[in-house]
């Protein structure tokens, strides 16, 4: 069913020329295949609900998961996009490098790289919550003096605080955000980080 045109940046499905309207809350959810694992972690850093596929997961399982969870599948495999059909929405990126891929997402899909930075765990995608007093005792002494929010992952227990790594990551997100304005298209409706977080570059 066709929806009215909107001023919001929306996800463009290149193969069909249509677009995917963001899910409830104004944001699409994503599933990145194993070739885009690193980009998936940066989408989490920007605040997007982004799952990443396990290594070796079969194409059929990827598509089933994307469809069942209402996620847009991001891939470098054109054959996978062609197989999606009505089962799931799959989008093939033409850029393999991290910076190029991030800019392509901004240009084609309207990704807001400053949507909600550092609000999700980079490792397991859970929404972060304020760290408890008990958890704060695990912080390095220097981190306790930095000020700013201290958050934790309710699933894995990792702690996140605003250290120098956050400033470096934020600078990269800002560069991607400013790189190119997103396209606006007509829509078609459809059915941070802590010392233990790891390197996502």
Contact present, 26 and 15 (Cβ < 8 Å): no
pTM above 0.85, yes or no: no
Q: Kindly list the domain boundaries of the chain, sorted by start residue.
A: 11-116+164-179
165-191, pLDDT tens digit by residue? 888 999 999 999 998 766 654 333 333
Q: What is the pLDDT of residue 164?
A: 85
Backbone dihedral angles phi then psi of residue 139, each to the nearest 5 degrees: -70, 145
30-81, pLDDT tens digit by residue? 999 999 999 999 999 999 999 999 998 999 999 999 999 999 999 999 999 9
Class of domain 11-116+164-179: alpha beta
180 torsion bin: left (phi>0), alpha (psi -120 to 50), beta (else): beta
């Amino acid at each position: 069913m066709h929806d009215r045109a909107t001023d919001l940046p929306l996800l463009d499905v290149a193969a069909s020329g249509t677009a995917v309207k963001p899910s409830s809350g104004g944001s699409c959810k994503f599933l990145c295949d194993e070739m885009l694992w690193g980009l998936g972690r940066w989408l989490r850093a920007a605040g997007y609900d982004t799952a990443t596929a396990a290594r070796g997961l079969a194409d059929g399982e990827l598509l089933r998961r994307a469809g069942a969870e209402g996620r847009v599948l991001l891939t470098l495999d054109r054959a996978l996009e062609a197989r999606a059909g009505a089962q799931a929405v799959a989008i093939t990126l033409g850029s393999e490098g991290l910076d190029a891929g991030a800019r392509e997402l901004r240009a084609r899909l309207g990704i807001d790289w400053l949507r909600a930075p550092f609000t999700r765990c980079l490792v397991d995608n859970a929404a972060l919550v304020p760290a408890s007093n008990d958890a704060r005792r695990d912080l390095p002494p220097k981190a306790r003096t930095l000020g700013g929010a201290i958050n934790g992952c309710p699933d894995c227990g990792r702690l996140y605080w605003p250290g120098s790594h956050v400033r470096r990551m934020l600078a990269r997100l800002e560069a991607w955000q400013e790189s190119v304005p997103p396209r606006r298209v007509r829509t078609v409706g459809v059915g941070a980080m802590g010392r233990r977080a790891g390197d996502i570059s």
